[in-house]
């Protein structure tokens, strides 16, 4: 695994060895992957914490850029173009000082790899501290104009989810796993998810449930109208590979 070196805004280089794992987002109506999410891992396959703990205010921009490059190159090497799936990449809004300037390396990498831009999704978490919501809105609008899709991750985990949903108008919303956990026996969670299904349908927003770990959770979410699923129940993240969806999960 080669290291990726990217210059920071102030010209300082840094070197963080890391790799990417991939996990499918499943279209339960077709039994095929709608997208693969790229997940940061240590160079030895360890969890993301060891890498993310090295990210500082000084190197956040360079790390964000390196993640985009690594995600695209790794997904293409793993065979993304042999599927119809998109590639979903997590990004750090606070690392983007200029949407136009900061997207150039991503565009260059995608074009070099022959990855169509409309197959790229950029996720940002609802929990992230935003220096300027107006700046984030500008980033999202710029990305949409380029042809990318934008998703809010961990929806329902923060205190301003509906406000950000209204303000940023994402293409996709990913329900936080705490809303999914044990949903088969929790009427309140079911009511919240049912309401989100209606809201997303009215606003033409794709709704994804993540963190699904059991057959009961998967079946309940499908009954509530959530078509797109992600979680260990379907496939665990695989380092440098696009893991297959467990066939028995699609019969639930």
The string of pLDDT tens digits covering residues 39-56 is 999 988 888 888 888 888
pLDDT of 129: 58
Q: Tell me how crowded residue 162 is: count the other CB atoms within 10 A of its CB.
A: 12
Q: Please check the confidence at residue 249 and state whether its pLDDT lies above 90.
A: no
The string of pLDDT tens digits covering residues 17-31 is 899 999 999 999 999
- Predicted local distance difference test score (pLDDT) of residue 159: 52
Segment 83-112, tens digit of pLDDT: 999 999 999 888 888 888 899 999 999 999
pLDDT tens across 181-228, in order? Answer: 999 999 999 999 999 999 999 999 999 999 999 999 999 999 999 999
- pLDDT of amino acid 19: 94
Question: Has residue 10 got a pLDDT over 50?
Answer: no
pLDDT, position 215: 96
Given this model, what pLDDT does residue 223 score?
97
What pLDDT, on the 0 to 100 scale, is given for residue 16? 78
pLDDT above 70: residue 230? yes
pLDDT bracket for residue 156 (50, 70, 90): confident
Return the pLDDT at 166.
87
pTM (predicted TM-score): 0.91
């Amino acid at each position: 695994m080669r290291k990726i070196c990217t210059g920071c805004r102030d010209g300082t280089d840094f070197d963080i060895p890391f790799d990417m794992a991939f996990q499918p987002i499943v279209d339960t109506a077709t039994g095929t992957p709608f997208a693969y999410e790229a997940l940061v891992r240590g160079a030895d396959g360890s969890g993301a914490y060891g890498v993310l703990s090295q990210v500082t205010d000084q190197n956040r921009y360079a790390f964000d850029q390196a993640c985009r490059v690594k995600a695209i190159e790794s997904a293409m090497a793993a065979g993304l173009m042999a599927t119809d799936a998109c590639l979903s990449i997590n990004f750090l809004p606070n690392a983007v000082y200029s949407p136009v300037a900061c997207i150039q390396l991503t565009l260059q990498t995608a074009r070099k790899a022959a990855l169509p831009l409309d197959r790229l999704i950029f996720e940002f978490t609802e929990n992230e501290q935003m220096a300027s919501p107006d700046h984030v809105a500008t980033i999202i609008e710029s990305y949409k104009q380029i042809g990318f899709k934008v998703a809010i991750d961990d929806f329902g985990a923060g205190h301003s989810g509906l406000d950000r949903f209204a303000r940023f108008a994402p293409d996709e919303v990913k329900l936080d796993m705490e809303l999914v956990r044990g949903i088969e026996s929790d009427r309140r969670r079911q009511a919240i998810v049912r309401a989100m299904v209606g809201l997303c349908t009215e606003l033409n927003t794709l709704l994804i449930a993540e963190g699904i770990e059991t057959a009961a959770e998967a079946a309940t979410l499908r009954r509530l109208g959530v078509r797109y699923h992600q979680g260990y129940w379907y496939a665990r993240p695989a380092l440098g590979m696009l893991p297959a969806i467990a066939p028995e999960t699609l019969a639930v």
